[in-house]
Amino acid sequence: MATYSFREARQCVAEQVARARRPQAETVALEAAAERILAEQVAADRDCPPVARSVRDGFAVRAADLPGSLEIIGEAPAGATFDGVVGPGQAVEIMTGAPVPEGADAIVMVEHTSREGNRVTTGNAPRPGEFINPRAAEARRGDLLLGCGRRLGFPEIALLAGLGKTQVQVFRKPRVAILSTGDEVVPITEQPRDNQVRNSNAWSLAVQVERAGGLPEILPVAPDRHEETRQLIERGLGSDLLLVSGGVSAGKYDLVERVLAELGAEFYFDRVLIQPGQPLVFGRAREVFFFGLPGNPASTMVTFELFARAAVELLAGQSQSVLPMPLARLTTAFRHKTGLTRFLPACLSADGTELTPVAWQGSGDMPALARANAFLVADADRESWQPGDLMQVLLR
């Protein structure tokens, strides 16, 4: 099997999943469509705006008449139309969003005018078209506004509402099975012995799956016994994606790869040059993609964000998966051994400009992970950074 760099592994996941996925569509009410992936093309049902509109409160005028004093012949409130025509030396009081009256070709802001009775005076000389949003300036009827594969955030929901869509076609959320392994792992409701840990990985993965657009299903813990592990993996392969936590190293009781191989799995890679998370497995069995995630909490969290999240997003119908890693300035010196891309817990300042490493005791240190709010990204080819140097950040 293959060993990949961070970027090679991520590219492999994206290419394999994008090539094989066949997401199915369903229709949901607009109020249930937030953060779903659009499964239809959405076009403008009319010109946007359908008429020229004022973008300021003020007066609709003929630019050629100003500066000077004009007769006010009426008003155009939002939601209504002034039926007359603005002639030479005339103006119409107008509100933001109201249709521009016939004859007017500019808007003078109310702050730049003085009014006395039915006359308004301004020293401004507006340009034709000033503070007017022309008809169809935003879109023409039939223009494509949203395409398939678009995640629906609040601006997209507002646009759909503005188009009068009470229902929308979205892709079905992929079902993601989550399987923790190991005799040392017990349910979170149990009191663990000194040689045991509670099944925290399943719960963190469930949150990450939901955030990526999937439907998590937490399976019972697979003990370090071949037949029971096989049964649970086969159950997990009934979902759209299987995430296995633990059991992917080279130890005597690490059964996951052996069981998957027995089930006819194709393995794309089984090691990535990162820390934490080197012994990461990605493949496909019975037409279902799977990840074997290392069992330490930080390894599980990081490898999901770097690789499995992309698979969930693509299976959910997203056109592409983007991993933003903005830059921030280090507040302290940092060194590491080259050869691996490292993702280590850190605190990002509230304004997103400064990054401080968090002291930790390795990838099982959950209190340190909770103190952090991001991961610093140490490039595999660079050995050291000084205070003030820019470093990439993996956001949480």
Specify the pLDDT at position 250: 54
Separation of alpha carbons 278 and 260, rounded Å? 19
Residue whose entry in the numeric block shows the structure tokens 């605190």: 347
Query: What is the pLDDT at residue 364?
Result: 86
- Note whether 353 and 389 are within 8 A (CB): no
CB atoms within 10 A of CB 396: 14
What value does the mean pLDDT of the chain take?
A: 95
Give the pLDDT score at 248. 67
The two tokens of residue 129 are 């078209």
Domains of the chain: 3-24+173-315 (3.40.980.10), 26-47+139-171 (3.90.105.10), 53-133 (2.170.190.11), 327-395 (2.40.340.10)
Q: Which residue has the higher pLDDT, 66 or 396?
A: 66
Query: CB of 168 within 8 A of CB of 30?
Result: yes
Q: Which two tokens stand for residue 15?
A: 């290419």
> What is this structure's pTM?
0.88
Give Dmax over CA atoms of the chain in angstroms: 93
Q: What is the DSSP string of 163-206?
A: TT-SEEEEEPPPEEEEEEB-TTEE-TTS---TT-EE-HHHHHHH
Residue 30 is predicted with a pLDDT of 98
Residue 253 confidence class, pLDDT cut points 50, 70, 90: very low
Q: Residue written as tokens 């010109």?
A: 47
Report which of residues 60 and 1 the model is more confident about.
Answer: 60
Give the residue-averaged pLDDT of 45-55. Answer: 97
**pLDDT tens readout for residues 148-170:** 999 999 999 999 999 999 999 99
Using the predicted structure, report yes or no on whether residue 363 has a pLDDT greater than 90: no
Percent of the chain predicted with pLDDT > 90: 89
Give the span between the Cα atoms of 268 and 272, in whole angstroms.
11
Q: Which contiguous run of DSSP H or E holds residue 132?
A: strand 132-133
Cβ count within 10 A of residue 348:
21
Q: Work out the average pLDDT over 358-378.
A: 93
Average pLDDT on 298-315 reads 96
pLDDT digits (tens, 9 = 90+) for 89-112: 999 999 999 999 999 999 999 999
